[in-house]
Amino acid sequence: MKPSAVLVVALLVASAFVAAPAYVAAKDKPVTVVGEIVRYEPGHVIVLRDATNNEVTYTLSPSLTIPTGVEVGRRVTLYTTRGDDGSTMVTRVSTSVTPEGDVKRVVERTHTKPSGETTTTTTTTINGTVQAYVPGSSVTITRADGTQVTYMINERTRVPEGLAIGRAIVLRPAVVSDDSLVAEVITFKKEK
């Protein structure tokens, strides 16, 4: 092979390395962000105040379904990915305070029968400390973010013996036809 041909091949190989990006963004690796909503434009952007009191703007994915209760002043968790253009795109919004579910945990189970029929069951639990308790009537809990919520207790609610103010609990809300908050099951939170 002629020296000039070797030089041309070497230059072509070197230019391929120079043209390649120095890094590859992990598009499929989500990043979780928690903060208070400062501004919210449905279908466009959401602006959060982070732990260091900085305001950060995030672009909402066009196909994103936003849960109810997302509004200015609310604390949310955003699940983001990096787009091809380097922008940060929100792919999921949760009204839970932390990704670990210290305030609210939603578990979704999908079961496929041998016939191919698929059923999905969603269970939500709320963690908190009992602030007030009226047997047979209601329980008020303080969640990890300091907010309080009151759930009604009815004849179907399973309440553990010894429920009292100050106890750490896990509450599973009942599915009801209206927007009322009714407890289905209350258990004591296991100490770690």
Identify the CATH number of the domain in which residue 117 sits: 2.40.50.320
Pair 114, 135 in one domain = yes
Q: Which of 29-33, 34-38, 52-56, 87-91 has the lowest mean pLDDT?
A: 29-33
In a domain, 166, yes or no: yes
In terms of domains, do 128 and 58 share one?
no
Asked if residue 152 is part of any domain, the answer here is yes
Q: With 60 as the cut, is the pLDDT of residue 28 above it?
A: no
Query: What is the CB neighbour count within 10 angstroms for residue 168?
Result: 13
Label residue 168 by pLDDT band (50, 70, 90): very high
Q: Which of 34-38, 162-166, 172-176 has the lowest mean pLDDT?
A: 172-176
pLDDT of amino acid 121: 61
CATH at residue 66 = 2.40.50.140
Same structural domain, 39 and 75? yes
Asked whether residue 139 falls in the same domain as residue 117, the answer is yes
Element (H, E) at 148: strand 148-152
In angstroms, how far is CA 10 from the centroid of its own chain?
A: 50
Looking at the domain assignment, is residue 173 inside a domain? yes
Same domain, yes or no: 123 and 57: no
Own/partner pairs for 59-63, CB < 8 Å, 24+ apart?
Answer: 59/87, 59/88, 59/89, 59/90, 60/89, 60/90, 61/89, 61/90, 61/91
- Say if residue 77 is in the same domain as residue 40: yes
Say yes or no to pLDDT of 64 above 70.
Answer: yes
pLDDT of the residue at 40 = 92
Burial of 14 (0-12, 13-18, 19+ CB in 10 A): exposed
Taking 70 as the threshold, does the pLDDT of residue 50 lie above it? yes
Neighbours of 63 (CB within 10 A): 6
Q: Do 45 and 75 belong together in one domain?
A: yes
Contacts of 105 (CB under 8 A, 6+ apart): 96, 124, 125, 127
**Per the confidence metrics, is the pTM higher than 0.75?**
no
Q: Who has greater pLDDT, 41 or 1?
A: 41
> Is there a domain that residue 72 lies in?
yes
* Structural contact between residues 48 and 35, judged by C-beta atoms closer than 8 angstroms: yes
Please indicate, yes or no, if residue 10 is contained in any of the structural domains: no
pLDDT for res 109: 59
What's the mean pLDDT in 62-88? 78
Work out the pLDDT band at 164, boundaries 50, 70, 90.
very high
- What values do phi and psi take at 31, rounded to 5? -120, 135
For the chain, the domain total comes to 2
According to the model, what pLDDT value does residue 59 have?
A: 86
The boundaries of the domain holding residue 142 are 104-188
In a domain, 99, yes or no: no
126/165 same-domain check: yes
- Quick one: residue 151, left, alpha or beta (phi over 0 = left, psi -120 to 50 = alpha)? beta
Q: Are 132 and 87 contained in the same domain?
A: no
Neighbours of 93 (CB within 10 A): 21
Judgement on whether residues 116 and 53 belong to the same structural domain of the protein: no
Find tokens 């009151």 and name the residue: 150
Do both 144 and 123 map to the same domain? yes
89 Cβ partners below 8 Å, 6+ apart?
58, 59, 60, 61, 80, 81, 82, 83
Asked whether residue 25 is assigned to any structural domain, the reply reads no
Does residue 5 carry a pLDDT above 80? no
pLDDT at position 29: 63
Residue scoring higher pLDDT (178 or 102)? 178
Average pLDDT, stretch 104-113? Answer: 62
- Give the mean pLDDT of the chain: 75
Q: Provide the pLDDT for residue 27.
A: 46
Q: Amino acid identity, residue 74? A: R
Both 121 and 87 in a single domain? no
